[in-house]
Amino acid sequence: MADGARADVFEELLSRGDLPNISKFIIDKGTFTKAVSVFPSTTGPAYAPFLLGQFPGRCNLPGIRWFDRELYAKRIFSLYRFRSYVGLESLLMNYDISKDSKTLFEIFPSTLNIMNELSRGAALKSYRTRFLRVYHKIKGHFNNRWDEVDIASRDVLLDSLKDNPQFAYIAFLGIDTYSHLNHPFHQSVIESYFRIDESVGILAKTLQDMGRLDETLLIITSDHGLTPTHSHFDSVSFMNRLGFKTFHYPKIFKYYRGADAANMISGNAMTHLYVKSPQGWEKKNTFDELTGFVDSLIERQEVDIVAGLDEKGRVKIKSERGGASAWLDKEGFLRYERFNCDPFGYNGIPSRMDKEEALKYSFNTNYPDALLQIIQLLESPRSGDLVVSAKQGFDLRAKYENPEHCSSHGALFREQILVPLGINIKIKKEFVRTVDLYPTILHLLGKPIPNGADGVSLVG
């Protein structure tokens, strides 16, 4: 997992011959393509498609931060009223995901997990960086030596090969962290791509020496891209100026009780907004009931897309371009109804499509797969009344981010939601979602694909 790798940067480096090992041991034997990640395009929720085979809304992991309106209203002392995975609460991620989903760590008998929190089912000995991760994240936060963290991950990987793991998941964090600190094209970021390429080379040569290279499926991909950020919208203060008492991180004790709104940011280019309804927190507001608030958001130069549910549970979407409604009908077809102009600027997208058609028609637009991604996210009971996606160049958090985010992700637009995919087998499918890799891995390793997987195998 080349966390934060952009599809276009990866492709450019590949075409220049700057990723020689990835070319030799993966792409030349298989396929390079681009895949659509998920909304929110942020680590944690965007790992769920790979590890659980489900969209984040469907395994109830709607963001890096979320708020449970019912528990907030009902219970004072519960660990599940709200969450931020930035910090120690990340240790609760495995308890937050829905029990119906099965992780690849639960399916395969011997596994290896490196620098990834979404690890339910990973045995103690297979999650080699369970504590090292906290140490490295704290150290990296202060000395910005994420290169050392990625090399430490490489060393753990190489040392673990003797245990013959059947499934191994390694997250390299340098691209994402150096992009946040600088920008996605900075030298330190590009060197992080090179370092991953080196790791792939050493891994492949080691597997070759062990005589196991040809029987090993190698996948290199990402969970999101990043874009440079020149301005931060203080969306919390904006809500407070509108009169809300807004619950938000890190000030969780300010409105431990008594908040009438919440703002839970991911990436930081996306946020979930929750508003207490006149009937109390238990009842979710419809999009139309919040129309004034929606319009005041759309008027903001930083805000791109706002979406919520109508009284029928259908998604309503609005941007300064236009408005529309989208839903999945009983036959599982995606229905799309524009009220005036298309909110995404889509041109000629049909009003009734199956999920693969929805991907095909939107893949080469500025908002690949946005319809299904918004629909899946708003299925989570922990999602906001409204979900907001920022415009390129902006994010939605102006305070408490130290160091400052010079690049962001989490949003719906192409540069943040499209990721590279390299795999050492030929794949047939033309348009790919990251959620397709879960059934593909199970298929190729001869395991049954659990019901409820959101993806389709790339090898038919």
C-alpha 213 chain-centroid distance: 30
**Min CB(163)–Zn ion separation in Å:** 30
**Min CB(145)–Zn ion separation in Å:** 17
Q: Are 344 and 321 in contact (CB under 8 A)?
A: yes
Q: Which residues from 312-351 bind Zn ion, rule CB under 5 A? A: none
Task: State the Cα–Cα distance between residues 175 and 196, nearest whole angstrom.
Answer: 10
Task: State the Cα–Cα distance between residues 299 and 238, nearest whole angstrom.
Answer: 12
The 3-class SS string of 97-147 reads CCCCCCCHHHHCCCEEEECCCCCCCCCHHHCCCCCHHHHHHHHHHHHCCHH
How many residues contact Zn ion, by CB under 5 A?
A: 1
In terms of CB distance, is 176 or 415 closer to Zn ion? 176
Task: State the Cα–Cα distance between residues 15 and 6, nearest whole angstrom.
Answer: 14
- What is the pattern of x (binds Zn ion, CB under 5 A) and - over residues 131-170? ----------------------------------------
In terms of CB distance, is 50 or 167 closer to Zn ion? 50
In terms of CB distance, is 319 or 416 closer to Zn ion? 416
Query: 227 phi and psi, to 5 degrees?
Result: -130, 150
**Min CB(268)–Zn ion separation in Å:** 9
Least Cα distance to 136 among 154, 115, 113 occurs for 115
∠ CA 173-392-90, nearest 5°, is 35
Q: Are 371 and 334 in contact (CB under 8 A)?
A: yes
In terms of CB distance, is 11 or 401 closer to Zn ion? 401
Q: Are 459 and 443 in contact (CB under 8 A)?
A: yes
**Min CB(32)–Zn ion separation in Å:** 23
**Min CB(62)–Zn ion separation in Å:** 17
Helix boundaries (H) for 403-436: 414-417
**Min CB(69)–Zn ion separation in Å:** 26
**Min CB(218)–Zn ion separation in Å:** 24
**Local structure of 148: helix, strand or coil:** helix
Q: Is residue 96 near Zn ion by the rule CB under 5 A? A: no
In terms of CB distance, is 176 or 304 closer to Zn ion? 176
**Min CB(102)–Zn ion separation in Å:** 27
- The CA distances from residue 309 to 121, 285, 286, 406, in Å, are 34, 8, 5, 32
Q: Which DSSP helix (H) or strand (E) runs through 370?
A: helix 370-377
**Min CB(403)–Zn ion separation in Å:** 12
Q: Which residues from 172-191 bind Zn ion, rule CB under 5 A? A: 176
**Min CB(3)–Zn ion separation in Å:** 7
Least Cα distance to 262 among 250, 243, 244 occurs for 244
Q: Which DSSP helix (H) or strand (E) runs through 353?
A: strand 352-353
In terms of CB distance, is 108 or 413 closer to Zn ion? 413
In terms of CB distance, is 117 or 176 closer to Zn ion? 176
In terms of CB distance, is 68 or 223 closer to Zn ion? 223
Task: State the Cα–Cα distance between residues 18 and 82, nearest whole angstrom.
Answer: 43
In terms of CB distance, is 176 or 454 closer to Zn ion? 176
**Min CB(373)–Zn ion separation in Å:** 18
In terms of CB distance, is 134 or 406 closer to Zn ion? 406
Residue in the block written with tokens 């793991």: 165
In terms of CB distance, is 40 or 439 closer to Zn ion? 40
- The CA distances from residue 322 to 258, 306, 346, 387, in Å, are 35, 11, 11, 16
Q: Among all residues, whose Cβ is closest to Zn ion?
A: 176
Interface residues toward Zn ion, by CB under 5 A: 176
